[in-house]
């Protein structure tokens, strides 16, 4: 089968890769571009491990075709830190011990970033509802929610 | 080996051409139903026909007489639209219940309708709001009321080669409001056991002059229940009228037993929901 040549923007940089017509964006990122930070949990939109931001909206990359990324802009977990400086969310996840095995963590951090982009001061309830599509088998969620609230506070105090 | 193509035309005409030349083409809106069904082998498209590069299918257009919501506009965009929030809070409630934030980033009303689930969360409010499906096909365009669009699980009024372009909603009359609720076994991320959407209009004295009641997940398609609406019109939507509407909704339901609930349970619950949702729509309408 002939492969499609996709030109897109990933984490602010131009990127190109080849994919099959039915290949997912998740696969395009991991296998086409070698960006393996985005994880596959379920492949059916239920777990959020594959979360990326596409044109300012949070999506499950397992339910996006790689070909759809043509000319669009995608942010993955690899684009969250600035160089070697961790994003406040990443720092807070470490400090609050908000991860154990870690497979869900990139998805949670990307999803939480998308929340803080639109709502810098979320309530605990808003964080829990926003992250309802991200599943974690290990932590019991409390530490994750605390880390997101912590990072949000950190980011607000950094901007005043 | 099964080979599939990917096409992303920029116009309705371009999409219709592809559908005409490749009968196995399937529309790809948000993909939150289609790609799940593709991965599991349930659907085998010859072409993924991505319609998200067609401006009319992504747009939300508000004018003096109503709103036109592009069939492929993502739930997240619909829920953030101030006019839709103000005019159709019940529709926004329903759309907001479609899956997680990630699903909201992609899932559309067109996909929710065309997937044909009796439990689809946008549909009862669309029916209550008198929405019409705008369809384009090889012989031109036509309009079908949403209650007639749904034909059975996985089946719609679309003929082969036809495309749902948008849904059109009339602007609510004065003292009109809608509401939508569903029952699910947990607080988020589940499929409705039963659901209800209601739109009510009142006159200046507080008497209900028009009503639409739609119920979901309790029959092969969402149902418009005329008897439930008739129980409310001419009343102040008092407790007795609500009881009669609830009884009418339960009587219209013909649910099945499945692992989410028995038929008897669904029939009871849809009555309870009808009461609650009608009371909520009434409270909203009276504030207007
Ligand atoms: C984790 C998860 C949770 C979910 N939760 C809910 C929920 O709570 N409530 C709910 O109602 N749904 C839920 N869904 C189902 C799904 O998200 C919705 O039905 C959504 O609205 C589908 O829209 P879409 O744009 O993604 O459709 P797609 O998957 O793109 O399309 C669905 C079907 O409709 C056809 N189609 C789409 N658009 C058109 C068109 N314009 N013209 C003709 N045919 C068309 C496609 O070919 C396909 O067969 C969930 C799905 C997932 C994966
Ligand atoms: S891998 Fe995409 S949601 Fe689970
Ligand atoms: S840390 Fe293991 S799944 Fe979340």
What are B's interface residues with A at a Cβ cutoff of 8 A?
Answer: 1, 3-6, 8, 28, 30-32, 35-36, 38-40, 48, 50, 52, 74, 76, 99-106, 188-189
Chain A residue with Cα closest to B53: A68
| A114 interfacial to chain B (CB closer than 8 Å) | yes
Fold entry, domain B1-171: 3.30.465
Q: Which residues of B215-243 are buried (b: 16+ CB within 10 A; e: fewer)?
A: bbbbbbbbbbbeebbebbeebebeeebbe
Ligand 2 centroid, distance to A135 Cα (angstroms): 9
Per-residue pLDDT reduced to its tens digit, B150-159 = 999 999 999 9
pLDDT band at B259 (very low <50, low <70, confident <90, very high): confident
| Domain map (residue ranges) of chain B | 1-171, 176-287
Q: Give the one of B6, B36, B40 whose C-beta lies nearest to A65's C-beta.
A: B6
Instruction: Let me know if domain A88-159 sits in CATH 1.10.150.120.
Output: yes
- CATH code of the domain made up of A4-79: 3.10.20.30
- For residues A61 and B250, give the distance between their C-alpha atoms in angstroms, rounded to a whole number: 41
Per-residue pLDDT reduced to its tens digit, B173-185 = 999 999 999 999 8
Local structure of B130: helix, strand or coil: coil
Give ipTM to 2 decimals: 0.96
- CATH code of the domain made up of B176-287: 3.30.390.50
Q: Give the one of B35, B39, B100 whose C-beta lies nearest to A48's C-beta.
A: B100
pTM for the model stands at 0.96
pLDDT band at A153 (very low <50, low <70, confident <90, very high): very high
The residue among B209, B211, B208 whose CA lies nearest residue B237 is B208
pLDDT band at B1 (very low <50, low <70, confident <90, very high): low
pLDDT band at A154 (very low <50, low <70, confident <90, very high): very high
For residue B261, what pLDDT is reported? 86
Per-residue pLDDT reduced to its tens digit, B47-98 = 999 999 999 999 999 999 999 999 999 999 999 999 999 999 999 999 999 9
| Domain map (residue ranges) of chain A | 4-79, 88-159
Local structure of B143: helix, strand or coil: strand
């Amino acid at each position: 089968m002939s492969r499609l040549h996709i030109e897109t923007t990933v984490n602010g940089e131009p990127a190109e890769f080849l994919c099959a017509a039915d290949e997912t964006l998740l696969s395009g990122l991991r296998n086409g571009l070698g960006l393996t930070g985005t994880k596959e949990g379920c492949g059916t939109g239920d777990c959020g491990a594959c979360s990326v931001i596409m044109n300012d909206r949070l999506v499950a990359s397992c339910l996006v075709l790689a070909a759809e990324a043509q000319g669009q802009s995608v942010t993955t977990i690899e684009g969250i830190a600035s160089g070697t400086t961790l994003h406040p969310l990443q720092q807070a996840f470490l400090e609050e011990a908000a991860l154990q095995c870690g497979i869900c963590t990139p998805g949670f951090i990307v999803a939480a970033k998308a929340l803080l982009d639109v709502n810098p001061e979320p309530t605990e309830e808003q964080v829990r509802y926003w992250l309802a599509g991200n599943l974690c088998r290990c932590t019991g969620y409390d530490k994750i929610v605390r880390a997101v609230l912590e990072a949000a506070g950190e980011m607000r105090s950094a901007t005043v | 080996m099964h080979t599939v193509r990917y096409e992303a035309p920029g116009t309705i005409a371009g999409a219709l051409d592809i559908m005409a030349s490749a009968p196995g083409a399937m529309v790809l809106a948000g993909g939150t139903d289609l790609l799940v069904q593709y991965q599991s082998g349930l659907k085998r498209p010859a072409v993924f026909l991505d319609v998200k590069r067609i401006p009319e299918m992504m747009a939300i257009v508000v004018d003096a007489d109503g709103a036109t919501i592009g069939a492929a506009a993502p739930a997240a965009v619909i829920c953030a639209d101030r006019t839709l929030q103000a005019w159709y809070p019940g529709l926004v409630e329903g759309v907001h219940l479609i899956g997680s934030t990630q699903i909201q980033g992609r899932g559309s009303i067109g996909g929710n309708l065309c997937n044909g689930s009796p439990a689809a969360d946008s549909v009862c409010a669309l029916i209550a709001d008198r929405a019409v499906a705008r369809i384009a096909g090889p012989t031109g365009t036509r309009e079908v009321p949403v209650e007639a669009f749904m034909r059975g699980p996985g089946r719609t009024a679309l003929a082969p080669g036809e495309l749902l372009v948008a849904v059109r909603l009339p602007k609510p009359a004065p003292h009109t409001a809608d509401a939508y609720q569903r029952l699910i076994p947990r607080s988020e991320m589940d499929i409705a056991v039963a659901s209800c959407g209601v739109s009510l209009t009142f006159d200046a004295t507080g008497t209900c002059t028009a009503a639409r009641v739609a119920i979901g997940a309790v029959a092969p398609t969402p149902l418009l229940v005329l008897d439930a609406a008739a129980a409310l019109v001419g009343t102040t939507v008092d407790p007795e009228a609500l009881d009669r509407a609830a009884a009418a909704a339960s009587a219209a339901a013909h649910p099945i037993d499945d692992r989410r609930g028995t038929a008897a349970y669904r029939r009871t619950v849809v009555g309870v929901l009808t009461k609650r949702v009608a009371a909520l729509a009434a409270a909203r309408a009276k504030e207007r």
